[in-house]
Structure 1
């Protein structure tokens, strides 16, 4: 182990490659997480009911996110490996496939939300105030889902070929737009009357429009490799579709499996009460803010491992994977310490009751422990295994641990023993620990290495 760390610190090429890709993604994720935190803080000035309502409405957006992540990451496995071969024709075809499938997926959910908005919010919580506020928010923000599908496809494609700066800049501009219009629409300014949570939804929609224009326009203005003609994007050979279908379905199923599990967790928390919903919304906002580094590392790892395998250099893929595990474990420990030290200070920024504040601090401290194996699992599944084309095993790992351990424990804790939120979250630590053990076993076997672009 000491020799591995020593060799890693001397390899400047490895660190340059990793951080050249990871840092712009990290900044982009940090910007996006900042947006979520700022949104929550600004809406939080209106009251706990508004925080809970928007938090529940965003669970639907979570379903959009996980589905699109699966579709685009599935295409990204191929794009990263094709980039190792410098096969631009098939890179454009995979981008077009992600655009088509992602757009249809987003459109279907948009229609469902427009037809059944109150029922969607009512699945989580039936308090009249939360139903009313959540419905007004989701009916507006759902029009941004199709835009999210487009930006996701192009952003993932850019990441997989190492062009990460454009999505970062586009996200920064979108956040600025969102903050400005949040202030105008939520609280009112000049002739604009205060709109509350509906104003926050409208600001988000406008920000998504700007982000989409920036990313797509930037690609074609700068004539990047993804600046394809319609025929290059949307005329995809049958054999390529067949080759891509299983990995894309596996990753999409993986993400939806995780997303649905998270929705079930939210439903369980909703049974505890609106205080628990408010608390967990704040916890998720803060925790995700800290995790931006890890998700950026994982995204970079997918590209690096995929490129190496596409080049046919399996030894380099193995070496880089080992180094990334060491690096991410150290980062997990640092994030754990950061969450534990800043929990009381950050929670004090939210306008909540002392009961909710203390509950939130307690859950954050529990999360500080859970975060270490969670970070390890994120890098393994999203970065190493997916980059290696091992999509089926990743699905099995997520499904078995979440639905075999996490979901049953959450319902036992809430519906059988009527436990407080803190104890339910503590029970869920078992899911991440078991998953980490299974990930290490899979990694050591090297069965996660698959060249997806060999003819």
Structure 2
């Protein structure tokens, strides 16, 4: 095996050229609902709580389709490393079809019966009354959301990081301007409140997809999408795709269900607690949106190395990302804690909700750092071709530790809100122990390309020799 030692200098060069643009693009593309929550703050705690509940529905939707997108990213990155253009077309077509089906299901439900969906999450009639018009309009944006995501994933995987970044900037600007006009009724427009924020989200989604399509059509040098190849699944490709995707799909689906159960507990707390949680989710979302972009970037880098047969390079990149990303999360959370008052004041919260928010950020300083470490390792497992271990570990820990503990604290014991909140992340430390061991073992590297598979025996031998040497020393 050639010398594939990755220095920190080389690693940071990759971070700055590939990872940071992807992180910023992801940060911008996932902030629409966060912008809505912030800008609706002047309408009072009830509006903030309503938009926050609607964001939880969107999060469940995300969990249901992200498995297909993540599976697509696995194939995109490894096939890009092997320069398999037909395989990329097949993966894109199948992922897009599955994701659109999920978006039409959720979008149709949100448009047809928003009151029923909101009623699952909260028993507060006044919050449902404000949230129903918002989620009905946002339901039309769901198909746009999945189209934008899969195109962005394709471009990231083929190292075209600037177009998604540019489209996300334009979409965010559009969302901000329309929110400012429609929420508050500027320039003679009606004062629409939360519904105005939803219109801004819908139009910004249209802008995002339109700009991405322009870049996709104009670029003929990297990967050319062909409808014939996108629909050619008859050669057994769909079986291989689903074999890799199903564990991820179940992971995201069950995670979404677990979070829904937790959100139901939160939705039955006081109105101040619900509003504080909505504000916290926005701040957490800003942190996690940036971090998730780094995770996607790590998937691209690791997947490309594994797909091209440079397995030891992929292994080393994984370990370095697993150290870097939690460090960044801790730093951002610490800054958020120090600036908690000006940040939380953006949401128009009352004194009690401000108190809740401050200590939620303090709890997340530790919990969020561990959570992002687990997340980055699981993403790299998937990029390396292994989707089962991380899935089983996350689902088992979530449903045996975090969900029952939070449910008991909030719905049975009726503990104070901050005590309930502290149970949300109780499973993360257990996962960290097992995932650290699995990462070091290298068992997660399972290539889907021929060149990657041919390099696997040599990689295993090199890893065994390295571990033996470490024990001797």
**Which interval holds the TM-score relative to the shorter structure?**
over 0.9
How far the C-alpha of 1:35 sits from its partner, in A, is: 3.9
Q: Please list the CA deviations of residues 65-92 of structure 1 after superposition, one character each: whole Å capped at 9, or x if unmatched.
A: 2223211111111111111101111111
1:191 aligns with 2:188: yes
**Which of 427, 431, 434 does residue 423 from structure 2 map onto?**
427
Query: Where does structure 1 lack aligned partners over 5 or more consecutive residues?
Result: 1-6
How far the C-alpha of 1:154 sits from its partner, in A, is: 0.7
Show the counterpart of 1:3.
none
Conserved 8 A contact 1:18-1:304: no
Q: Please list the CA deviations of residues 106-157 of structure 1 after superposition, one character each: whole Å capped at 9, or x if unmatched.
A: 1111122223211100111122221111111111110011111111111111
**Which of 353, 367, 372 does residue 370 from structure 1 map onto?**
367
- Structure 1: distance between partners of 2:320 and 2:197: 42
Query: Where does structure 2 lack aligned partners over 5 or more consecutive residues?
Result: 454-473
Conserved 8 A contact 2:82-2:308: yes
Q: State which drifts further: 318-327 or 203-212.
A: 318-327
Show the counterpart of 2:436.
440
1:385 aligns with 2:381: yes
Conserved 8 A contact 2:323-2:373: no
**Which of 405, 409, 413 does residue 401 from structure 2 map onto?**
405
Matches within 5 A, 1:168-317: 168-223=165-220, 225-317=222-314
- Structure 2: distance between partners of 1:65 and 1:227: 27
Q: Please list the CA deviations of residues 43-100 of structure 1 after superposition, one character each: whole Å capped at 9, or x if unmatched.
A: 1111111111111112221122222321111111111111110111111111111111
How far the C-alpha of 1:11 sits from its partner, in A, is: 4.3
Q: Please list the CA deviations of residues 415-434 of structure 1 after superposition, one character each: whole Å capped at 9, or x if unmatched.
A: 12111221112223321111
Show the counterpart of 2:411.
415
Matches within 5 A, 1:3-82: 10-32=7-29, 34-82=31-79
Q: State which drifts further: 108-117 or 172-181.
A: 108-117
- Structure 2: distance between partners of 1:390 and 1:333: 27
Q: How many positions carry a matched residue from both structures?
A: 447
TM-score by length of 1: 0.94
Alpha carbon RMSD of aligned pairs, Å? 1.7
**Which of 345, 355, 358 does residue 355 from structure 2 map onto?**
358
Show the counterpart of 1:148.
145
- Structure 2: distance between partners of 1:64 and 1:368: 27
- Structure 1: distance between partners of 2:221 and 2:49: 42
Show the counterpart of 1:4.
none
Show the counterpart of 2:341.
344
